[in-house]
Amino acid sequence: MDVLHFLEGAIPDGRGRTLSMIMALDDRAIESTHDFIQWIFPLDEPSRSHPGAPVLDLFEIEEIKSSEVALENLMQSADWYFGFLQRHDHWIRQYDHNHLRISRVIKSLRLLVSDEVADRYKAAILDFLGGNISAISERSRGYWLNA
């Protein structure tokens, strides 16, 4: 699996979708499609939800960190996903699969971009929730805080 070239927009993921195709998904598709998030926010640990999702090794991590295009696309993907969250409030409840997605975004940004960027993303999520933060389970908030 060539995650670097996928993140650079050069090749499709394992299901034949390019990064631009994923970014063109409408909100309904974003909500109901569960196997794209592992590609646009890859990690160095296996996905418990999708066993076939890419798992980065040290070499791939360094390749991605060295690619301005991949890093820019990661940042754009983070903004894109945050925009989705801002447009909807269905995920602001005790448990929602989007909580796991938020954890993945924070972890991926930390792993591939920087602690500062990951912390800013986490802060933006928490700021967006504001007084609604208590609607999110302590468990989910704990994942975010430790991501």
Give the per-residue pLDDT at 49.
84
Give the per-residue pLDDT at 21.
97
Residue 106 has pLDDT above 70, yes or no: yes
Q: From CA 41, how far away is CA 52, in angstroms rounded?
A: 14
Residue range(s) defining the domain that contains residue 46? 3-146
Phi, psi of 17, rounded to the nearest 5 degrees: -100, 130
48 compared with 118, residue with greater pLDDT: 118
Contact 22, 36 (CB under 8 A): yes
pLDDT bin (cut points 50, 70, 90) of residue 1 is low
User: Under 8 Å CB-to-CB from 10, ≥6 apart: which residues?
Assistant: none
Q: From CA 113, how far away is CA 141, in angstroms rounded?
A: 22
Q: pLDDT tens, 46-68?
A: 988 888 899 999 999 999 999 99
Counted domains in the chain:
1
Tell me the pTM: 0.96
